Amino acid sequence: MDKKLYPRIGEEVIWETLDNGLPVCIVPKQGFSRKYALFATRYGGMDMRFELNGQWLDTPAGIAHYLEHKMFDTKDGNALQELAKNGAEPNAFTSNAITCYYFDSTEKFYENLEILLSFVSVPYFTDESVEKEQGIIGQEIGMIEDNPEWQVYKQMMQALYRSSPARTPVAGSVESISHITAQTLYDCHKAFYTPANMCLVVVGDLEPDAVFSLAEEVLPRESGPAIARDYGEEKELTPLEAETSCQMEIAMPTFLLGFKCPPMSGGQEQMRRTLIGELACDVLLGDSSPLYARLYSQGLINGTFGYSFDTLPGVAYAYIGGDSKDPHAVAELVLQEVQRLVREGIDADYFGRILRANYGSTLKSLNSFESIAISLVHDPEFIIFDEPTNGLDVITAKTVTDFLVGLKNEGKTIIISTHIFSLVEKLCDRVGIIINGKMVKEGDLKELTAEKDLETTFFEVYSEEVGENA
């Protein structure tokens, strides 16, 4: 058991990998009545082609989502009903890359946890029940297909990508799910619902040993082999189509402007590029950006306007959209602003405000048990903080700093954006200096400062870049 203590903030994280390969993460919350459990598998809508028992299988689109629906069926009834009887609030979701089953409760937690582990690990399907589910999910798909926002997103992904399964909706289509059988579901469960491909995260006031013992008792003793997956290969960065549209009865046109980005291989490079993508979207389109103000003042966007930067296995993309009386005008102004920022750079003060806003939203999410559990599914090696001590009193700032030191000592890679030189000197091994939105110097902290303090070094670099009177 790996117990990571953070005494200054009264928190700890406990990791244990069971003999069957299942990682179990526990976040104790002493004094909290509510407890939360999430059981996830690295299996999502994009995992349609994989190798099982030496043979490559091509499964219908939507099967991961279909399997999520059917997993609640048990020989004795329905797990959702069992959990509800015990006062739990259960749910599940399927994304492109993962499927998660979870619940929260204030009582009978261990009974509910046993139910969760049991029904997820022991499938029960019949041909009759699988066929019946096709109608239910078919209705769900039909409702989604009638949604204008969903239609433009689906068409954008199909216009961006040629071969990646990212272009296929997670739920599939009415036609694709008609090919799903009980045997297909059993095959997918055998491949991906194995302990080493899953993770259990528990948050609340509980006994870690009791969680470990229960998981060892309920789950299989051994895990299956690692499963090879085929996500296709996007050989071209250019989209498949430059523009696509469909006709629906709506009051105002709904649009998405998509940007196809190079795929990411994982690790530090993925973290770096994900950070760049998210910040670029905020800088370009945030509600405090010049472009947003211009678009809004001209009546080209309204409260539906939004944007995102997403990464999936083998793909990365950004998109912008909402309702607009003139989507082409919005697209033109966005491209013009991108070109301007490339030419002129980003204002440093504005960039700093964006970073602080991002930090605030991230910090707020830490109050959510769900966010904690989902983030820890992956036991992240890279963690990003923006101005982690800004605006804090000296005691709280010391607490946060000690927490970051603890993370560093555990071997985590921490990326910090801050204007507090002492914090950098205490925490960082490598430093980058950003002036007027551009990285002007980067390197090992000791080499960069050359036995000076960081503040002196910064202002020397600043004077070289912009001049003493700037």
Question: What's the pLDDT tens digit per position in 91-136?
Answer: 899 999 999 999 999 899 999 999 999 999 999 999 999 998 888 8
Q: What is the pLDDT of residue 470?
A: 43
Residue 242 within any structural domain of the chain: no
Q: What is the pLDDT of residue 469?
A: 43
Confidence class for position 44, pLDDT limits 50, 70, 90: very high
Q: What CATH number does residue 434 fall under? A: 3.40.50.300
Q: 68, 133, 278, 337: which is the annotated catalytic residue?
A: 68
Instruction: Specify the number of domains making up the chain.
Output: 3
Q: What is the pLDDT of residue 7?
A: 57
Confidence class for position 275, pLDDT limits 50, 70, 90: confident
Confidence class for position 333, pLDDT limits 50, 70, 90: very high
User: Do residues 421 and 321 share a domain?
Assistant: no
Confidence class for position 77, pLDDT limits 50, 70, 90: confident
Q: What is the pLDDT of residues 280-289, one digit of tens each?
A: 999 999 888 9
Residue 290, SS3?
helix
Higher pLDDT, 266 or 96: 96
Please report which helix (H) or strand (E) contains residue 23, including its range: strand 23-28
Residue 211, SS3?
helix
User: Do residues 214 and 296 share a domain?
Assistant: no
Whether the full predicted model's pTM is greater than 0.75, yes or no, is: no
Q: What CATH number does residue 70 fall under? A: 3.30.830.10
Least confident of 25-34, 180-189, 204-213, 223-232: 25-34
Selection from 424, 351, 413, 363 nearest residue 391 by Cα: 363
Between CA 130 and CA 182 the distance in angstroms is 6
End of a domain among 202, 218, 234?
218
Tell me the mean pLDDT in the region 10-17. 80
Question: Contact 211/203 with Cβ under 8 angstroms?
Answer: no
End of a domain among 323, 346, 369?
346
Q: What is the pLDDT of residues 385-426, one digit of tens each?
A: 656 665 444 444 565 676 667 666 656 667 777 777 878 887
Between CA 65 and CA 83 the distance in angstroms is 21
- pLDDT above 90: residue 339: yes
Count Cα atoms within 13 angstroms, Cβ side, for 40: 25
Residue 388 within any structural domain of the chain: yes
Residue 145 annotated in active site: no
Per cent of the chain over pLDDT 90 is 48
Q: What is the pLDDT of residues 434-457, one digit of tens each?
A: 876 577 888 888 888 887 888 888
User: Do residues 373 and 461 share a domain?
Assistant: yes
Residue 441 within any structural domain of the chain: yes
Residue 245 within any structural domain of the chain: no
Residue 125, SS3?
coil
Question: Contact 370/102 with Cβ under 8 angstroms?
Answer: yes
User: Domain range spanning residue 258?
Assistant: 254-346
Question: Contact 83/103 with Cβ under 8 angstroms?
Answer: yes
Residue 234 within any structural domain of the chain: no
Mean pLDDT (the chain, rounded): 85
Selection from 145, 146, 149, 147 nearest residue 62 by Cα: 145
Least confident of 225-229, 348-352, 461-465: 461-465
Per cent of the chain over pLDDT 70 is 85
Residue 228 within any structural domain of the chain: no
Between CA 166 and CA 261 the distance in angstroms is 13
Q: What is the pLDDT of residue 249?
A: 83
Q: What is the pLDDT of residue 57?
A: 95
Residue 135 within any structural domain of the chain: yes
Pairing mode of beta strands 382-386, 413-417 = parallel
User: Do residues 78 and 183 share a domain?
Assistant: yes
User: CA 426: distance to chain centroid?
Assistant: 30
Q: What is the pLDDT of residues 195-238, one digit of tens each?
A: 999 999 999 888 999 999 999 999 999 888 999 999 988 888 89
Tell me the mean pLDDT in the region 71-95. 91
Main-chain phi, psi angles of 184, to 5 degrees: -60, -40
